[in-house]
Structure 1
């Protein structure tokens, strides 16, 4: 008997109890109601069904060493394990993660950290080149053919 069936039976017994004309009918209905209530209270409560989002295996191609290191460290900080399969390129990272976590937390956080790291590395590289190699560190000029 399911919990909903048990509750329905309890309602019917309550209706019988309210409609009883004699003391004997009321006592019988009260006893039946107590038995059903006792059964309802002694049944182990089943937890409500919980939706658990499945893990998806995501593949990332990060050609920059610093971006790979940043992404790997960020994954580990969140309890994820970055890996690559045998014979995959060293630029490939795999992660098993919930899609919603990836979309809402991991990827936006990575993009912000990546941008900050790129700004820092660009500024440091330009400064070191200007100070140690040559003052002009601009890109090469483009010439017509």
Structure 2
């Protein structure tokens, strides 16, 4: 997948999570963003924001999640002495359940696959062409 194809796929995911209804809407990324922001505002009026703690597995996931929060004008933070992969945010629960977390999981999956492909290709071309996993041996202490 090229970088252009990746960006197009990520935009399609955004439109999907915004609730685009017509073909014309699906072509308008700005409209999709506004629909999601409107959904967040509506959720904020109906229910109180609560503090969520997200513990992400790696720097890539954390960067993606923080960017997604900032896209929706949410303020990510963490407390002193929390792990660097912890992200805190105050947000209405329905927005997390219906929009934020599902969109993050889908975007994260696409980016992870893309980064895995690039890593494998670079290693195969520049380090060694045999990219098979390590052999599995019976342990001496199990025998």
What TM-score comes out, normalization by structure 2 length?
0.64
- Paired with 2:126 and 2:103, the residues of 1 have a C-alpha distance of 34
**Cα deviations across residues 64-99 of structure 1 (Å, max 9, x unaligned)?**
110000000000001111110011110111011100
**Superposed counterparts of 1:24-35, under 5 Å:** none
**Superposed counterparts of 1:73-112, under 5 Å:** 73-112=67-106
**Cα deviations across residues 17-58 of structure 1 (Å, max 9, x unaligned)?**
xxxxxxxxxxxxxxxxxxxxxxxxxxxxxxxxxx63011101
The match for 1:121 among 109, 115, 122 is 115
- Paired with 1:109 and 1:138, the residues of 2 have a C-alpha distance of 32
**Superposed counterparts of 1:1-145, under 5 Å:** 52-145=46-139
Structure 1 residue runs of 5 or longer lacking an equivalent are 1-50
Structure 1 segments (4+ residues) deviating >4 Å? none
How many residue pairs get matched? 95
What TM-score comes out, normalization by structure 1 length?
0.63
- Paired with 2:109 and 2:63, the residues of 1 have a C-alpha distance of 14
Structure 2 residue runs of 5 or longer lacking an equivalent are 1-44
Deviation at residue 138 of structure 1 after TM alignment: 2.1
Taking only aligned residues, the RMSD between alpha carbons, in angstroms, comes to 1.0
* Structure with bigger gyration radius: 1
**Cα deviations across residues 101-126 of structure 1 (Å, max 9, x unaligned)?**
00000001000100000000000000
